[in-house]
Amino acid sequence: MKIVDIKTKVISIKLNKTFKTALRSLDKMENIIVEILTDTGITGYGAAAPTEVITGDTKKSIIGGIEYIKKHLINKDIRNFEDIMVTLNRCIEGNTSAKAAVDIGLYDLYGKLYKAPVYKLLGGYRNKLTTDITISINSPEEMAKDSQHAVNNGFNYLKIKVGKDANMDVIRMQAIRKAVGDNVNLLIDANQGFEPKEAVRVIRRMEESDIKINLVEQPVYAKDLEGLRYVTNNVNVPVVADESTFSPIDAMKVINMRAVDMINIKLMKTGGIYNALKLITIAEVNDIDCMVGSMMESKIGVNAAAHFAASRSNIVHVDLDVPLLCCEEYINGGITYNKNNIFLQAEDGFGITINN
């Protein structure tokens, strides 16, 4: 099974509601779809999400990166998978989203070659996941209403976006906790929105207000690892690194510094599954649990992240709700949702097809 061509196209998907974080606001999301064609007639599908404020990758840079990668992969045989992955990761620096799109398509082909779902090839730990759902930054009243709606729809873990106004964030969380009651788990995600001391003050106020926060994700600027460690050492709530941890090397830094309690792995940051497996192994040998999330990605990317999440035992939290936030879906097959549960398919590879 040799690669004969790699094609790209851009899709645009409308969201049910404006997605708002401390970093950006979106009414729709654009994704770059990758089709890896082989001499057997079998196609592998991958995708990437431009997330300029996090990965630095734009639509044009992703397409350009994939075109550059393509030159190095033509005529490569999927049976020589390690050789392909080494070539993919060495042929260009950075461009993690472009690499991830190609990586996902290659793993799709790998599963199809050996006639197995990808999560089975990666470890096959489970075939069902439970995801949280994201609540965007809005007024306390609107966020409380959105949270109650999510709980009524079967979600018992909410990921609350904060980080734009520390004092208002406490009011937001108080309103949400009052609306959903004490039995719903709440994670807050500041998307780098706080200064270290500010983050500690805000989190302590939430602790003292008996809001009962389960996790705090990326409270400070991504490159401020000392600030991240300061927050971790001065609050009782477990702290998760997201934007601070792209690569296996990044994971080693935050772990060696004891800067966080958990790591959020996203394929657009790692450059795909190949490097995500290295990162999670580093976490595992250091007794660090992980969560798996995504950018604002199409079902192709989220589907691949779900397969990765289902393959390993030290992935203890999943944030893969983006398909539920979309008005329409461009992708057929793959994972299915029933309220907060994600079920993996039994088809070969990632089990997806694309509407033309």
Beta strand segments in the chain, E: 3-20, 25-38, 43-48, 128-130, 133-135, 157-161, 185-189, 215-217, 239-241, 262-265, 289-293, 315-319, 331-333, 336-338, 341-343, 352-354
Residue 208 CA to residue 18 CA, distance in Å, equals 31
Per annotation, catalytic residue among 70, 161, 269, 299: 161
145 a catalytic residue = no
Quickly list DSSP for 201-217.
Answer: HHHHHHHHTT----EEE
161 a catalytic residue = yes
Three-class SS string for 285-320?
A: HCCCEEEEECCCCCHHHHHHHHHHHHHCCCEEEEEC
Per annotation, catalytic residue among 266, 269, 278, 339: 266
Cβ burial, residue 94 (10 Å; 0-12/13-18/19+): middle
Q: Which residues are catalytic?
A: 161, 266
